[in-house]
Structure 1
Amino acid sequence: MKRFGLGIIAAFAMAWAGTASAETIRVALGTQDTTINCATGGLIVRELKLLDKYLPRDGKYKDVTYDIQWKNFTSGAPLTNEMVAGKLDFGAMADFPGSLNGVAFQKAGRRSLFITTLSGSTKGSGNGIVVPTSSPAQSIADLKGKTISVPFASTSHGMLLRAIKAQGWNPETDVNIITQAPEVAGPALQTNKIEAHADFVPFAELFPWRGFARKIFDGSQADAPTFHGALVDGEYAEKYPEIVQAYLSASLEADRLFAAEPEKYSELIAKVTGIEAEVNYLFHGPLGLQTRGLTWKPEYRQAVQTSIDTLKLLKRADGDLDIDRFVTDKYIRAAFVKAGRDYDSELKDYAQLALKAKDALTGAEITDVSRVAQIWVKDEPLVRHYASPENALKALAALEKDGKNARVVYAQDRESGIKLFAQQAWFVRAANGELGAFLSRGAAEKWAAAKGGQVVDFAGAREAVVVSR
């Protein structure tokens, strides 16, 4: 009896010791849900519980318990504050706040790592400038002497400074630049308290979609590459490289799922954030305003360097942040290998998400995407695709005749290829009836002067198609 009792005690002690030695590892992630470019590194990973799927559970992680924590932010600065304070291990943000993250860690005698891109544009689309709907301004050239608000030290701030420089203006005297967050700028635009606002994803499209602003400038016109990506605390990455890889594997799957079903995941983002699905699809559907991808394009590395240089100019950073130590593809390359994907091949791929579809009006395969237009019909799960604006507008008239309504109509800019809300675009109608879409009236007029044609708005384009039938 005595030996039996001692055996029970010994077994209990061993079990207790095993429990006491089991490690709990925190995986704390900061994201920006309303900054929809972060979705494949945040919202979708969280909502689909993809991180749980990839976290290591063998070797040194065999008996580990994971404490997964998600925290949402509306901008990168407070997210960075919590990372530096040791409250977060990962963070998703744009190039400018990401660089500030690196600077903040460096000031604290520590190091963060920019481990991947998530979504962006090597041309600069995503950032933009909007004006109130009643404004007479049609381009940035009309903003001289005006007050332009922008979130300071953001990627859109860098775009604005570059655009002003391209005009040959002095940013200190030729315009009045004030700092304003998007949640403040929206009401200010509605009440005409500001004359223009520059912002990042998705606000230069969201505000026009909601009807109180017009987009007059796209970041691609400033030719300033921009992106959103993910960072990690350097010490955490050194201690748990397999967890960093797991996070990136989850992001790769989120990216793949979004590409396969853009309407479905545009609706998911809308459900979680309130950012309308039509806006999400504008960015991330086929031929979208931005491209998703997790490879470090040279242009994105340059965007980080440009943001560091600009932050120094704005006196928001002192000293140099070594980009070769800050930006690393070590972990994302490992995630690509695990997923069976070729990193170097995808690194060379700059294409927008491809459109493989038939014209919903004619049934013919769409082979030339330069004039593609799309209609998302109310109560339909999938977007309809058309080879040209005129085909889309003919289809729209027929849909309305049948009592159906379009949630949104999209068109591709004839010059830049960026996706536009067709209802807010300008069109050039050629002599043969072909329509070309343009972001600005000035661009449309320039095209018409060079190649012939009549400049019309969306209503005029619709009327022209009806007349020609």
Structure 2
Amino acid sequence: MNMQKTLAGMLVSLLLTPVAFAETIRVAIGTQDTTINCATGGALIRELKLLEKYLPHDGKYKNVRYDIQWKNFTSGAPLTNEMVAGKLDFGAMADFPGSFNGAAFQKAGKQSLFISVLSGSIQGSGNGIVVPTQSRITSISELKGKTISVPFASTSHGMLLRAIKQQGWDPEKDVNIITQAPEIAGSALKANKIEAHADFVPFAELFPFRGIARKIYDGSQANAPTMHGSLVDAAYARKYPEIVKAFLKASLEADRLIAAEPEKYSELIAKVTGINAEVIYLFHGPLGLQTRDFSWKPEYRQAVKTSIETLKYIKHEQIDLDVEHFVDDQYIRAAFKESGRDYEAQLKNYAQLPLVAKDTLTGKPVTDAKQVAQIWVAGEAHVRHYASPVSALTDLKALEKAGKTVRVTYVQDSQSGIKLLAHDAWFVQNKTGIYSFLLKRSAEEWAQTHDGKVLDFAAARSAI
């Protein structure tokens, strides 16, 4: 009986004692998985569970339960819609859709913040223009009077308008610009239903890699910086600054991991996105087409300013967005400091991810970045590196003779230094060697002044 009374008393006591329920904090992140230069702000964090590693569990977060939500998008506009609607806290997108994000928040009486760069190019590489494989067009100068499709209000749309302006053309009279998503453009290029297509990462490289288009213009020719980065709802950042820093520290670790093992993580991103690992390595590997860079360099701030001005033109409406308040580097600076990294040093660092390697064929150190060539052989975990196209093409012939399957061959543009798919490049051979170029016109001009002969990839292979 006494035991029953004791148990009853304990039950009453428990019922009358207030229960402290742990607070649940949502961390909802919008990603663009197929926009592969957003990987360190989305796909890699998610797949490697890096956010869980850095979320705070002390102080005001001691008893917190985190509700981590991920949602993937193919473009920035629908991601922005869900952020403005309060369904997402973070998002990753390019300078143009990012600026539209800031404007949409402002229109709704709210505020978003551009908190870090993820990947970009101060020259503008990443955006590009392609034509169908069988097209005779080799330069943007041949597109006057033609129909060019582009994802409307994207960063590639801005690039296209700048490229047209450089030609001295009127974009409303001298070309016919139509809106077309990359998924539709791929089929249209394959069927020769459009004369040219402008697009953002990775489609100006993905379509040529898959054999349905040729790249005739790289965004670096417009000499206008471009970038993708991370955004956050400003109200969320003010309420949970430690979570914002945790997210950015997870991004920094994703960056460290892919820098150390680019082939391994290119394969992982490929598995998640369906984008070929060879194209992912083109961007994320050493001397890649773009540079992963979390610092707000003046050129990236200018990219946001330029995008705002161009969006005003495209949408024919007033967008009054103050870049100095929209771009907020306090969180990434803090994340750098807590990760033991020097933000100021990174601000001054404009180098591509370096390549420290020896020539696979000769064993000599690779020294000239603009002469580097690479081969990824099927079944090999690591890409082979070469000090020159001659060395790479020599080994390529030996590999094929031995029955090896080559996944892809890369070269660097001899003038700009940007990474190219070798099968889509032009070459010049002279007495000193073989040199690589994105554009046939550039190869022809260089050949005239250097006593050389212009070759396509097949001819360059035969010349060895």
> Which one-letter code corresponds to 2:455 in the other structure?
V
1:6 corresponding residue in structure 2: 9
2:187 corresponding residue in structure 1: 187
Report the Cα offset of residue 319 of structure 1.
3.6
Structure 2, unaligned stretches of length 5 or more? none
CA–CA separation in structure 1 for the residues paired with 2:61 and 2:299: 37
Q: Deviations over 1:142-194 (max 9, x none)?
A: 00000000011100000000000000000011000011110111111111111
2:210 corresponding residue in structure 1: 210
1:146 corresponding residue in structure 2: 146
Report the Cα offset of residue 318 of structure 1.
1.7
Report the Cα offset of residue 103 of structure 1.
0.3
1:408 corresponding residue in structure 2: 408
Aligned pairs (5 A) from 1:61-72: 61-72=61-72
Contact 2:427 2:434 in 1 (8 A): yes
Q: Deviations over 1:106-142 (max 9, x none)?
A: 0000000000000010000000000001111100000
Report the Cα offset of residue 3 of structure 1.
6.5
Report the Cα offset of residue 5 of structure 1.
3.7
2:295 corresponding residue in structure 1: 295
CA–CA separation in structure 2 for the residues paired with 1:133 and 1:148: 15
Q: Percent identity?
A: 71
Contact 1:286 1:354 in 2 (8 A): yes
Closer, same or farther: CA 97–317 of 1 in aligned 2, 3 Å: farther
Contact 2:288 2:353 in 1 (8 A): yes
Contact 2:263 2:381 in 1 (8 A): yes
Regions of 4+ moved over 6 Å? none
CA–CA separation in structure 1 for the residues paired with 2:333 and 2:13: 47
1:18 corresponding residue in structure 2: 20
CA–CA separation in structure 1 for the residues paired with 2:15 and 2:166: 74
Contact 2:308 2:319 in 1 (8 A): no
Report the Cα offset of residue 10 of structure 1.
2.5
SS in 2 for 1:52: helix
Q: Deviations over 1:337-361 (max 9, x none)?
A: 1100000001110100000000000
Closer, same or farther: CA 140–58 of 1 in aligned 2, 3 Å: same
Report the Cα offset of residue 320 of structure 1.
1.0
Aligned pairs (5 A) from 1:94-133: 94-133=94-133
Q: TM-score, normalised by structure 1?
A: 0.97
Report the Cα offset of residue 7 of structure 1.
4.1
Structure 1, unaligned stretches of length 5 or more? none
> Which one-letter code corresponds to 1:442 in the other structure?
R
CA–CA separation in structure 2 for the residues paired with 1:38 and 1:220: 19
Report the Cα offset of residue 293 of structure 1.
1.4
1:230 corresponding residue in structure 2: 230
SS in 2 for 1:314: helix
Report the Cα offset of residue 402 of structure 1.
1.2
SS in 1 for 2:351: coil
Q: Deviations over 1:215-272 (max 9, x none)?
A: 0000000011111101000100000000000000000000010100000011011111
CA–CA separation in structure 2 for the residues paired with 1:387 and 1:27: 46
Report the Cα offset of residue 317 of structure 1.
4.5
CA–CA separation in structure 2 for the residues paired with 1:202 and 1:296: 22
Contact 1:103 1:317 in 2 (8 A): no
Closer, same or farther: CA 106–118 of 1 in aligned 2, 3 Å: same
Q: TM-score, normalised by structure 2?
A: 0.98
- More deviation, 381-390/308-317: 308-317
CA–CA separation in structure 2 for the residues paired with 1:30 and 1:107: 20
> Which one-letter code corresponds to 1:10 in the other structure?
S
CA–CA separation in structure 2 for the residues paired with 1:13 and 1:208: 70
CA–CA separation in structure 2 for the residues paired with 1:202 and 1:314: 23
Report the Cα offset of residue 431 of structure 1.
2.0
Q: Deviations over 1:256-293 (max 9, x none)?
A: 10100000011011111110000000111000000001
Aligned pairs (5 A) from 1:17-416: 17-19=19-21, 22-315=22-315, 317-416=317-416
Report the Cα offset of residue 6 of structure 1.
3.4
Contact 1:38 1:119 in 2 (8 A): yes
Q: Deviations over 1:377-411 (max 9, x none)?
A: 01101000000000001111111111112100000
SS in 2 for 1:427: strand
> Which one-letter code corresponds to 1:41 in the other structure?
G
